[in-house]
Amino acid sequence: MATLITPPTYVEDTDTPIIFLAGPIRGAPDWQARAAAYLFDKDPSIIIANPRRSGMDEYRHKHFPKEWFEEQVDWETAHLKMASEWGAILFWLAKETDHGCDRPFAQTTRYELGEWKGRLEADGLFHRTVALGIEEGFTGRRYIERRLSQDCPNLIIYHSLEETCDRALQIAQIPPDFVEGCIYPGRISH
């Protein structure tokens, strides 16, 4: 059964892999809907955590209310961690289609990509946890590709959303090995 979770709903304890859809929301097309449809078509048993919440589009060019902001950050943090433990973090760096001068495009995505690279790189787990795709036209694409190819040579960077989704599905099929004291249980022995 296909399960799509969006804020403020949380995934309860599950024995099903979770794919977190990380990437720009504000200023980007709704690539998350395309990704979810593609992923569910390939594997309807997975859980997808989609941070693009209902009503978010009205805040394209203004700040979220304080309650939404805190709820959103906490929700994303929790689901990114769950997906890293069993599932995959799918980063799709979609190009900007609706420019807003009030904030840099994809600022949260860029931070999260760096955060998860830092968390997972030292253990050699970045390419086993993250599926990364970068759309042609994403600002900073060449720099991100160059730096990641230097630091994470086993990471394949895709250039289509479908290829990125396929990689996320491959990663999500790695079952978790619950190793005592392990921060990222499903990834250590693979």
pLDDT value of residue 186: 45
Q: Residue ranges of the domains in the chain?
A: 3-187
Query: Max alpha carbon distance in the chain (Å)?
Result: 47
Confidence (pLDDT) at 180: 36
Concatenate the DSSP letters of all residues of 86-131 into one string. Answer: SEEEEEEEPPPSS--TTS-TTHHHHHHHHHHHHHHHTTT-HHHHEE
Whole-model pTM: value is 0.88
Token pair 């799918």 is found at 90
Pick the CATH number of 3-187 from 3.40.50.450, 1.10.10.10, 3.40.50.720, 3.40.50.1110: 3.40.50.450
Residues of the chain with pLDDT under 50: 61, 178-190
Residues contacting residue 115 through CB under 8 Å, at least 6 positions apart? none
pLDDT tens-digit series, residues 79-100: 999 999 889 999 999 998 888 7
Name the DSSP letter for residue 48.
E
User: Residue 79 is inside which H or E element, if any?
Assistant: helix 66-85
Mean of the per-residue pLDDT values for the chain?
86
User: Which pLDDT value is given to residue 87?
Assistant: 94
SS3 20: strand
Both tokens of 145, joined, read 């590709």
8 Å CB contact between 176 and 185? yes
Per DSSP bridges, beta strands 47-49 and 3-5 are parallel
Rounded distance between C-alpha atoms, residue 48 and residue 67, angstroms:
23
C-beta of residue 160 within 8 angstroms of C-beta of residue 5: no
